[in-house]
Amino acid sequence: MWILERMHGHQLLTRLSRMSLEHGHITAALLVGSVIVGVGTLLLLRWLPRRAALVALGLSVLGSATGAMFVWLSFRPLPAQLPASNFVWIALAMFGVIGAALVLLRRPGLARGLSVTAFAGLAAIVAVGQVNAQTGTYPTLGSLVGHWPVGSVENVAFDSLPGAEPWVQRGLPTETHWQVPVRMPSNGVVTEAAIPGNVSGFDARPATLYLPPAYLADPRAELPVLVLVAGEPGSPSDWLDSGRLATTVDAYASRHSGLAPVVVVPDALGDYDANPGCMDSALGNVATYLDQDVPNWIESNLQVNPDAAQWAIGGFSYGGTCAIEMAVNFPDRYPSFLDFSGQDEPSTGDHEDTVAAMFDGDESAFDAVNARDLMAQNRYPQLSGVFVAGEDDDIYRPQQEIMFEAARAADMNVDYYTLPGGHSGDVWGTALELEMDWLGRTLALTP
């Protein structure tokens, strides 16, 4: 009996862990909480003298504005991901806390103290929840404690995975020649591995990997490779949460007899809030890292198709900018790309600051490796790719349109569309899901 109870408890925790913080019951509760906070704010204004209310409002607005300025100075160009409404929520939460403190100072009492403290806490929770719902930083309850949404995909240690096998199944399209082995798991796995910058000298954090069932089979299939890059600030594991990588690619594999690309998400930042751009510059040799170190490591440590025609690169935000930069500068390595909500050029703030930081102000050095400039001068009929942006992304959507037109003028085989949403995981996760069939055909997994 205790075993059944334990299993039931585990299933309940699993369901709770997978509850969305962006849609469904929790966001509905946040909406109700928002109404309560609004009513509570009006009550606070009535309880407080006019001068105290003005002080609370002034401090709240000042605090929110200071926070916005700090974010801008510290993480440029991050504010494109933070709608102005986020700072309104932050100001509301601050007003709840400050107003509650002023009420307690003027009218102490246990009942009133408990009520205004509860209101202040609710205001803070609602504000954080609303900001998170827009940015998609934590998509589920489980992600709050590090349990990212990977569905039925197990997270394993890299050194526990099977090594090279003496025989693999080859032939393109892979699906046509694939004979499903008896010994093949029903799901893929997620793992983590260090990819050193032996050639570039770039100091990268560990990469995140997804290996599909066909890779874990015996004998395995010789599979194509998809290199993905996350946004800035961020980490490779962001593709597991904001990008829904594991659940999306594993679902594709389940529809194609275990076949899917081997996905490697290297670190192209060096640190959570670094912004080196995807170029070789004074900020780091990121281009060489992605062009040489990452492919060298993949071919040495994973049994995959070494033909670059079966390789693609993609990313969201900063990672989308990386994808088009790498494809244009290294078309023989990455002939296919996915650019989700990327920029029209690498940026650390504005153009002058970027060129100064990366190339000591040398415009010609920047232009020589900037994808937009290269597309204006050359033709790339061998490249194919997809640009995607959020309908409400007023900062990055216009830049995506610029890059799409430039790519089309450079004879690339490209597509562009928008999805509901802003600069968030709602767009990027959906875009990856929609493009899996295109990737399968492009990488010769399917006919």
**Shared domain check, 248 and 104:** no
pLDDT category at 207 given cuts 50, 70, 90 is very high
Looking at the DSSP bridge assignments, the partners of residue 347 are none
How does strand 311-316 pair with strand 336-340?
A: parallel
**Is residue 15 a part of any domain in this protein?**
no
Would you state the pLDDT for residue 194?
Answer: 98
Q: Quick: pLDDT tens for 378-415.
A: 999 999 999 999 999 999 999 999 999 999 999 999 99
Co-location of 81 and 47 in the same domain:
yes
**In sequence order, what are the beta bridge partners of 400?**
none
Band of residue 24 on the pLDDT scale cut at 50, 70, 90: low
**Domain termination residue (choose one: 135, 163, 181):** 135
Amino acid at 151: G
Indicate whether 116 and 155 sit together in one domain: no
Which of 230, 232, 226 is CA-nearest to residue 240? 230
Q: How far apart are CA 413 and CA 423, in angstroms?
A: 25
**Pairwise pLDDT comparison (118 vs 234), residue with the higher score:** 234
Please check the confidence at residue 298 and state whether its pLDDT lies above 60: yes
Q: Is a pLDDT exceeding 80 seen at residue 208?
A: yes
Residue 419 near residue 390, CB atoms below 8 Å: yes
Q: Is residue 419 part of a domain?
A: yes
Could you give the number of structural domains in the chain? Answer: 2
For residue 52, pLDDT beyond 80: no
The verdict on pTM exceeding 0.75 is: yes
Please determine, for residue 259, whether its predicted confidence score (pLDDT) is greater than 90. yes
How far, in Å, CA of 108 to CA of 105, rounded? 6
Rounded CA gap, 74 and 349, in Å?
A: 10
Reported confidence tier of residue 213, pLDDT bands at 50, 70, 90: very high
User: Does the structure show a pLDDT above 60 at 78?
Assistant: no
Categorize the per-residue pLDDT at 425 as very low, low, confident or very high, splitting at 50, 70 and 90: confident
Mean pLDDT of 294-309: 97
Residues 341 and 238 in one domain: yes
Question: Across all residues in the chain, what is the average pLDDT?
Answer: 83
Q: What Rg, from alpha-carbon coordinates, does the chain have?
A: 25
| Terminal C-alpha separation, the chain | 51
Q: Domain containing 68: what range?
A: 23-135
Tell me whether strands 225-229 and 262-265 are parallel, antiparallel or unpaired.
Answer: parallel
Q: Is residue 4 part of a domain?
A: no
Does the structure show a pLDDT above 80 at 247? yes
CB-CB contact of 399 with 372 (8 Å):
no
Please say which residue of 92, 114, 135 terminates a domain: 135
Is residue 292 assigned to a domain?
yes
pLDDT of residue 121: 67
Q: Provide the token pair at 53.
A: 């209310």
Q: What DSSP designation does 290 have?
A: I
As beta bridge partners, residue 190 has 155, 210
Mean pLDDT of 195-222: 97
307 band by pLDDT with thresholds 50, 70 and 90: very high
94 and 213 housed in the same domain? no
- 225 and 194 in a common domain: yes
In the three-class reduction of DSSP (H, G, I as helix; E, B as strand; rest coil), residue 359 is classed as helix
Query: Residue 225's domain is classified under what CATH number?
Result: 3.40.50.1820
Highest mean pLDDT among 7-16, 42-51, 118-127, 275-284: 275-284
In a domain, 327, yes or no: yes
Question: What residues contact residue 409 under an 8 Å CB cut-off, 6+ apart?
Answer: 375, 376
State the pLDDT at residue 8. Answer: 42
82 and 194 belong to one structural domain: no
Confidence at residue 87, expressed as pLDDT on a 0 to 100 scale: 64
What does the alpha-carbon distance between residue 39 and residue 122 come to, in Å, rounded to a whole number?
A: 12
> Taking residues 280-308, what's their average pLDDT?
97
Q: What is the pLDDT of residue 242?
A: 80
Give the contacts of 74 (CB within 8 A, at least 6 positions apart).
273
* Whether residues 74 and 175 fall in one domain: no
Determine the pLDDT at residue 9. Answer: 45
Around Cβ 79, how many Cβ atoms within 10 Å?
17
Is residue 158 located within the same domain as residue 268?
yes
What is the per-residue pLDDT for 85? 64
Residue 9 in domain: no
Phi, psi of 229 (to 5 degrees): -125, 135
For residue 208, list its beta bridge partners: 192, 265
Apex 25 CA angle, 24 and 27, nearest 5:
70
Residue 322 in this model has a pLDDT that exceeds 60: yes
* Per-residue pLDDT, 250: 96
Q: How confident is the model at residue 147 (pLDDT cuts 50, 70, 90)?
A: low
Shared domain check, 381 and 236 = yes
Same domain, 225 and 355: yes
Read off the pLDDT band of 61 (50, 70, 90): low
Question: 166 in a domain, yes or no?
Answer: yes
pLDDT, tens only, 82-101: 556 666 666 666 666 666 66
Give per-residue pLDDT as tens, 339-366: 999 999 999 888 999 999 999 999 999 9
User: Which token pair is 9?
Assistant: 């408890």
List, in sequence order, every beta strand (DSSP E) within 65-206.
Answer: 154-155, 189-193
Confidence of residue 142 (pLDDT cuts 50, 70, 90): low
List of long-range contacts for 155-160, beta carbons under 8 Å, 24+ apart: 155/189, 155/190, 155/191, 156/189, 156/190, 156/191, 157/191, 158/191, 158/192, 158/193, 158/209
The predicted pLDDT at position 140 comes to: 64
User: How many Cα atoms are found within 13 Å in the side-chain-facing hemisphere of 376?
Assistant: 10
In a domain, 14, yes or no: no
Cβ-Cβ contacts under 8 Å for 374 (sequence gap 6 or more) = 328, 329
Both 197 and 327 in one domain: the answer is yes
What pLDDT, on the 0 to 100 scale, is given for residue 447? 94
How far apart, in Å, are the Cα atoms of 402 and each of 296, 343, 380?
33, 9, 17
Which residues, 6+ apart, have CB-to-CB distance to 36 below 8 Å? Answer: 122
Range with the poorest average pLDDT among 212-216, 362-366, 420-424: 420-424
CA distance 64 to 164: 54
